[in-house]
Amino acid sequence: MTASHNSFFTSDEETRLKQPHVGRTVDRSLVSRFLEPFWHATAEVVPAYVAPNAITLAGLVLVALSFALMLTANPSFSQPVPKAIYIYSVAAIFAFQTLDAVDGKQARRTKSSSALGNWFDHAADVVSVQLAMAAAGGAIGLGAGKTMLFLLGSVIVNNYVAHWETRHTGTLYMGNGTSIYEAQLLMMMVHAITFFVGVEPWGQSLASALPVASSFPLSTAPLRVWVVVVGVGAVGGVGAVGSIVRVARLGPRGAVFVELFAPVILCSAGAVAVRSVDASVAPLFVFAVSLVGLHLIARQILGQLILTRPKIFDPALLPLVASATTLQFVSSTRLAAVLGWANLVLAFWIMGATYLGATFGIARTLRIPILMLPPHLKAKA
pLDDT for residue 30 = 83
Residue 315, in any domain of the structure: yes
Predicted model pTM = 0.94
Residue 101, in any domain of the structure: yes
205: nearest Cα among 196, 193, 197, 214: 214
Residue 369, in any domain of the structure: yes
Flag whether pLDDT at 378 surpasses 60: no
Amino acid letter for position 302: L
DSSP state of 212: G
Residue 16, in any domain of the structure: no
Residue 326, in any domain of the structure: yes
Flag whether pLDDT at 270 surpasses 90: yes
Domain total in the chain: 1
Q: Which residues pair with 171 in a beta bridge?
A: 24
Flag whether pLDDT at 379 surpasses 50: no
Model confidence pLDDT, tens digit, residues 207-222:
888 888 777 777 888 9
Model confidence pLDDT, tens digit, residues 65-112:
999 999 999 999 999 999 999 999 999 999 999 999 999 999 999 988
Q: CA 120 to CA 60: how far, in whole Å? A: 11
Model confidence pLDDT, tens digit, residues 275-314:
999 999 999 999 999 999 999 999 999 998 898 877 778 9
247: nearest Cα among 174, 169, 167: 169
Q: Is the dihedral of CA 124, 231, 286, 76 positive or negative?
A: positive
Q: CA 41 to CA 191: how far, in whole Å? A: 26
Q: Which residues pair with 172 in a beta bridge?
A: 25
Residue 1, in any domain of the structure: no
**Which three-class secondary structure state does DSSP give residue 194?**
helix
pLDDT for residue 112 = 86
**Residue 162 structural domain:** 25-203+221-374
